[in-house]
Amino acid sequence: MKTLIFPAFLLLGAAPSARAVDFIRQIQLIHNQSIVYDIPISGTTGSIASKTIEGDGAVFQLYAYPDQIYSPFTIADVNVGTLVNANIQLDSNLVNLNLLGIHLNISLGGTDPSDPGATRVAEKTVGTYFPQASVTLTSEDTYYPPRTRADRPYGFKLSIRKLLAQPTGVTTYSGPTKITLEREYKLYDSTSYNPSTNGSGQGTYSSAYEFTKNGDFADPSIYQSLPAARPTKAVGEETFAAYVQVNAAGSMARVSASTIQVWPVAEATIDGIDDGKRYLGVPPNVKTTLKDLYPDSVTYAQIYKGAANVGTTGYIIPSTVLSYNTFSPQNAMVPIAEMEKGITTDGTYTIEILTTTPFNQRKPEVLASKSFVINRSLDVQGYIGTSN
């Protein structure tokens, strides 16, 4: 096996500190045996010099221990969504890390459900003969990390470079000649919107692809296929990962991956009004229960005269307007008060709950509607007479 020896660099920031909760694992094959080297990380950004890379390459894995202080619900700035970025340059023997948001995204990592304690957040394989791959997932929602709704398609792009059939001047090539693309999923709990802590609800899909040539490959509309009872209420994430085989035993190392979160379609119910019923006055105690509102959405109730007719713009009830711009779906219960401001003369009225999301060019979609009849005047038919 050809060996490339690089001068060993001094490790930066590797002095073990009491606060280090994460580590990078460097694995490489020397004399056909795996050598493992664990580098602790303290801090959230910076660079770490790895152990000398020898042989044909190395696998770098970034593990993070769940840290109680960094629970996702305590992070105020949800724009800290930069996925862990670990750049490894083979020639400089340096691993550049941008760990901002590592704890927010800790639930997005972990490909092996049996990883105990620490979660694998990122993995990268580098080597002389290793191809470079880049997987990107895009959604109509421009939020980062990528997310989409259960009913909306997302785009996929894979670019492969430096995949060699047989390098010139090397008689026995034992490096990878193909990239295997796999699609994996992880289900979230439908109420907490988080993956389970014991690794259940994960799996792969039956479709896997192999690429043997360099190039760019894309599929602009992929629908999520999470195994949920109702397709519109699927909650979880899907990952496209590119793997190469690194040794004769068939161990696969990841060269690139991208994950997209899937949030369910919102639903609403209107309580306090019976559909089609006649009311003598404005119905009191009307409320709407909203479930799984999209993290970036504006939801409101409107009322208009006439039977239900999707597309009608009515009187928007001010106290029902609810806007969210956050990182997970929301639930709410909103009383519908001051409905009478939208009611003029007697007749049939329709009340609708609508929501706007980044999808469908932010056109509002009707979540629920009910129609009722208002008849506030009483006609008394009678006569006055006397009887002897």
Q: Name the residue with tokens 């034992």.
A: 174
From 87-95, 96-104, 163-171, 317-325, give the range in contact with another protein by CB under 8 A: 317-325
From 77-85, 134-142, 160-168, 374-382, give the range in contact with another protein by CB under 8 A: 77-85
Q: What is the DSSP letter of 339?
A: G
* 80 near another protein, rule: CB under 8 A: no
CA distance 48 to 37: 13
Among 33, 172, 381, 386, binds another protein (CB under 8 A): 33
Site string for another protein, 245-264 (x = CB under 8 A): -x--xxxxxx----------
Specify burial of residue 303 (Cβ count, 10 A radius: 0-12, 13-18, 19+): buried
Among 43, 167, 215, 335, binds another protein (CB under 8 A): 335
From 148-156, 162-170, 272-280, 375-383, give the range in contact with another protein by CB under 8 A: 148-156
Can you spell out the DSSP letters for 152-198? S-EEEEEEEE---SS-TT-SS--S---EEEEEEEEEB-TTT-SB-TT
* 307 near another protein, rule: CB under 8 A: no
Among 30, 170, 218, 373, binds another protein (CB under 8 A): 30
* 360 near another protein, rule: CB under 8 A: yes
Among 84, 118, 235, 262, binds another protein (CB under 8 A): 118
- Least Cα distance to 56 among 139, 175, 136 occurs for 175
* 39 near another protein, rule: CB under 8 A: yes
Among 43, 45, 79, 375, binds another protein (CB under 8 A): 79
From 85-93, 96-104, 154-162, 179-187, give the range in contact with another protein by CB under 8 A: 179-187
* 225 near another protein, rule: CB under 8 A: yes
* 171 near another protein, rule: CB under 8 A: no
Among 95, 242, 334, 351, binds another protein (CB under 8 A): 334
> What 3-state class would DSSP assign to 301?
strand
Among 114, 171, 198, 345, binds another protein (CB under 8 A): 114
* 63 near another protein, rule: CB under 8 A: yes
> What 3-state class would DSSP assign to 174?
coil
* 367 near another protein, rule: CB under 8 A: yes
* 311 near another protein, rule: CB under 8 A: yes
CA distance 157 to 160: 10
CA distance 366 to 186: 29
C-beta of 375: minimal distance to another protein in Å?
A: 27
Long-range contacts of the stretch 82-86 (C-beta < 8 A, 24+): 82/144, 83/108, 83/122, 83/144, 83/145, 84/109, 84/121, 84/122, 86/24, 86/60, 86/62, 86/122, 86/124
Site string for another protein, 126-145 (x = CB under 8 A): --------------------
CA distance 147 to 135: 15
- Least Cα distance to 123 among 260, 241, 249, 248 occurs for 241
* Contact residues for 204 (Cβ-Cβ < 8 A; gap 6+): 182, 183, 184, 185
* 361 near another protein, rule: CB under 8 A: yes
* 61 near another protein, rule: CB under 8 A: yes
* 223 near another protein, rule: CB under 8 A: yes
Shorter beta-carbon distance to another protein: residue 178 or 346: 178
Among 45, 232, 344, 375, binds another protein (CB under 8 A): 232
Shorter beta-carbon distance to another protein: residue 46 or 113: 113
CA distance 108 to 30: 32
* 174 near another protein, rule: CB under 8 A: no
Element (H, E) at 159: strand 154-161
* Contact residues for 230 (Cβ-Cβ < 8 A; gap 6+): none
- Residue count at the site for another protein (CB under 8 A)? 117
CA distance 86 to 328: 26
* 370 near another protein, rule: CB under 8 A: no
* 362 near another protein, rule: CB under 8 A: yes
Verify cis geometry, omega within 30 degrees of 0, for the bond prior to 145.
yes
